[in-house]
Structure 1
Amino acid sequence: MDQLFTVANRKAFLIDVPKKKVLGMIDLGYMGNIVLSSDRKFLYAVETFYSRGTRGIRTDVITVYDTKNLSVLHEIEIPPKRFLCVIKKNTQALSGDNRFLLVCNISPASSVSVVDLHQQRLVKEIPTPGYVLLYPYETRRFAMIGQDGGLLLLSLNKAGQVEEKKRIFPGFSLADPIFEHGVYLKSANQYYFVSYEGMLWSLSLSGLSATWEQKWNIASGSGWRPCGWQLLSCDPEERHFYILMHKAPKGKHKDSGTEVWEIGRDDGVVKRKIALDRPVDSIRIVAKEETLLCGLCRKAYLDIYDLRNGTKTAEIEELGEEALLLIGYDG
């Protein structure tokens, strides 16, 4: 988990976090995004291209890269329908067995393209009316979220066809919505999300069942609220959550954060508040010999903090226009 990619508009940068240096960069198509295989061998870039640059015939592809040298191995063409709005982590996802790449479509009808990475071909486009974004779990299951906060759970068979599906009633109130960038804890088979007002939620999954549980209100009327883009992370031992915060009124949830709060997973207690040297929009914990907090700003800089003392140890600049996502290896 010592390396990660920053994803910006049309570019992704590979960062060696402990060495605090850029190792490489790949160009991405329009609103391009990436997914990493869990064995660290492949990078899958989900991209869109137009025959006249910004107009003309549209082609959507999955470009497969070798992560050893960032060279292109091959392309897989997919339906020209993929989600094009802003760069989100959950608009594409790998199945738990790394066999299928799932791509969220809006045309404006919502659907999911299922791509067999072994056979390098599109298997099926699954209609998912009213449900978007992808939250994979277990071997070949994934959840999608609806506009009312309900869930659609789907299970694929070994051929990539829909085996089962089930709708789950909303588990949280839209009076206090959740940020869609959640964190998956594989050992517990749970997703965690934080709401606009600072409520931490867990979503427990098992087969085609899902249970929401309201955990803790970390803000407790302090005037501080969660904010940013990719605002929630967890340490490798899954003991503490890290949440990007700022002191601001309602409606400012898209603003950059000025502090990161460390929260105990077992008790919801705020263990520490880390004041940031400058605001960031996305955070991620990276660990190997040491545990580091990475903060990415859409203004194209990455700040790295040593979590032993909460001090900034490095900064990397010029990481692309609208740098929003931190993508790393999980587990």
Structure 2
Amino acid sequence: MAVERRRGMARALAAPLTLLGALSVLAAGPVRAADPILQTEESDIVKLPPGGPHRILVEDAVYRHNKDGRVYVVDTDSGKLLGMVQAAYNANVAADPSGRAFYVAETTWERGNRGKRHDMLAAYDPQTLEPTMDIDLPSRALVTPKKPDLAVGADGHYVYVYDTSPTNSVHVVDTAKKAVVQTVDVPGCALIYPWGTSGFSSVCGDGSLANVSLDASAKPTVTHSAPFFVPDQDPVFEHSPGVAASGHVWFVSFSGLVYDTVLDSDARISKPWSLQEAAGLKPASDAHAPFDVTWRPGGWQLAAVRARDSHLFILMHNGTFWTHKEPGTELWEVDLTTRKLVRRIHLATPSTMVGVTQDAASRIFLTDEAGDLNVLDGATGKMVRPIRKLGESLIFTVAPGE
């Protein structure tokens, strides 16, 4: 019996210990599985689909810290920023007409703000945004970004880079050879307005044009037009719009005169006509009456042409003669064939930039001081969508087919 009692006691004492152990297991929670073996991360490059007519490039000069300039790739149908490439200090951007590449001419210094200077021209794949060409330039004009500082010929074979070191000149880059094959001196002249596959013109200080044609070996022949405007009385805007394939440029003067010009070795310049008269107003005064207030063109990329129907889109404001940098408070659409105003679009926020696509369902692009890109319907002029806070200093656009 004692043994039985001892065994009973043993059994009685063992039971609480067993229950305590079970409670301990429950408190500890379920048994954890072994940690998974993490896979090695593999980097890749996202490839954009081929761009449509509404995928554009937008240059942001980022003036508050403009060593950090950039070019945005923007889908204006979705309103999305698809990508970005660097466009260092006062860079310029231009695109191959067939969409095979886009080009950025830029300048850097080895020690940031000092040291050896590097002037470069890079080509980027429009789908991967990877550089496909990266060459040194002898120099380039280090000025505020302007579209006519960098241009591409009609077939994309030549890229032209404007320079002022030591004198006014244009570097000719052969995109097949990926090299500078010629430097053309254009003394007293500036900027690049390409025509055809192997020619460009520059505007000269006396109001004439220097016309440069290149032969098969890129050897230049330079001719000059007669002066067609008086620079100190009514100069033409540097951002006057044109079409490289046809060599057609519409030079717009500060007073609002339009010089319909076909560029080649013997440029043909038509008698000017007035934007204000196209709108049923009196022609604007030039520098002889600088304080007359009327509607005048102004801005930075102040005009764009839709070549398929020869419509000019130009920013206008109410002001005196020397207000050519003022943003537009209205956008005027003018038929260049009939020289008549099609519509006047009031802008809720003033804009210094206008761009347009060339397709049947075209889009118009405007910007404002907040860095928004506003997308308008090209047929109605109505807002399609704003793209808020795209950048800081949106200065110009490059659309397919320009």
TM-score (norm 2): 0.77
| Cα offset, 1:297, TM superposition | 3.3
Match of 2:274 in 1: 217
Tell me what 1:173 maps to.
Answer: 230
SS in structure 2 of the partner of residue 178 of structure 1: coil
1:2 pairs, out of 40, 54, 57, with: 54
Query: 2-side partners of 1:214 and 1:19: how far apart?
Result: 43
Q: Tell me the residue number matched to 1:118.
A: 176
Q: Which runs of 5+ in 2 are unaligned?
A: 1-52, 62-68, 285-293
Please say if residues 195 and 246 of structure 2, whose CA atoms lie closer than 8 Å, have aligned partners that are also in contact.
no
Q: In structure 2, what is the equivalent of residue 47 of structure 1?
A: 106
Q: Which amino acid aligns with 1:167?
A: H
1:182 to 240, 251, 270: 240
Residue 18 of structure 2 corresponds to none
Contact 2:93 2:103 in 1 (8 A): yes
Q: Deviations over 1:256-292 (max 9, x none)?
A: 1111111111221112100112111110112546222
Q: Is the 8 A contact 2:356 2:364 kept in 1?
A: yes
Alpha-carbon distance, 1:186 to partner: 5.4
Distance 2:392 2:166 in 1: 27
Equivalent residue in structure 1 for 2:365, among 275, 291, 294? 294
Determine the C-alpha separation between the residues in 1 that align with 2:154 and 2:163.
Answer: 20
Contact 2:195 2:245 in 1 (8 A): no
Q: Identity, % of aligned pairs?
A: 28
- Supply the distance in 1 between the matched residues of 2:359 and 2:154 (Cα, whole angstroms): 23
From 115, 138, 141, the equivalent of 1:56 is 115
Contact 1:3 1:286 in 2 (8 A): no
Matched residue count = 328
C-alpha distance in 2 between matches for 1:264 and 1:299:
31
| Counterpart position of 2:142 | 84
**What is aligned with 1:312?**
383
Could you tell me how far 1:293 is from its partner in structure 2?
A: 1.3
Consecutive unaligned residues of structure 1, counting only runs of 5 or more, are: none
- What's the offset of the Cα at 1:309? 3.0
- Secondary structure of the residue that 1:326 maps to in structure 2? strand
Partner of 2:354: 283
Hey, what does 1:192 align to over in structure 2? 250
RMSD: 1.8
Residue 191 of structure 1 deviates from its aligned partner by 0.8
Distance 1:195 1:145 in 2: 13
Q: Contact (CA 8 Å) 2:211, 2:222: kept in 1 or not? A: yes
Q: 2:131 aligns with which of 58, 72, 75?
A: 72
Distance 1:205 1:64 in 2: 27
1:11 aligns with 2:66: no
- 1:144 pairs with one of 193, 202, 206: 202
Q: Distance in 1 between matches of 2:359 and 2:184?
A: 39
Deviates more, 1:313-322 or 1:85-94: 313-322
1:25 aligned partner? 84
Q: Which string of whole-angstrom CA distances, capped at 9 and with x for unpartnered residues, describes residues 91-137 of structure 1? A: 11112231121111012511111111111112122222111100110
Instruction: Say yes or no: does 1:237 pair with 2:308.
Output: yes
What is the identity, as a one-letter code, of the residue corresponding to 1:6? Answer: V
Give the whole-Å Cα distance in 2 for the aligned partners of 1:72 and 1:104. Answer: 21
User: Greater share of strand residues, 1 or 2?
Assistant: 1
Q: Which amino acid aligns with 1:3?
A: R
Aligned to 2:156: 98
Counterpart for residue 345 of structure 2: 274
Kindly indicate which of the two structures has a greater share of residues assigned to helix: 2
Whole-Å separation in 2 of the counterparts to 1:23 and 1:307: 23
Q: Is the 8 A contact 1:5 1:327 kept in 2?
A: yes
Report the equivalent of 1:35.
94
Asked if structure 1 preserves the Cα contact closer than 8 Å seen for 2:193 and 2:244, the reply is: no
The answer to whether the 8 A contact 1:11-1:320 is kept is no
Pair 56,187 (structure 1): closer, same or farther in 2 beyond 3 Å: closer
Q: TM-score, normalised by structure 1?
A: 0.93
Distance in 2, matches of 1:257 and 1:189, equals 27
Instruction: Compare relative contact order (CA 8 Å, sep 6+) and give the higher one, 1 or 2.
Output: 1
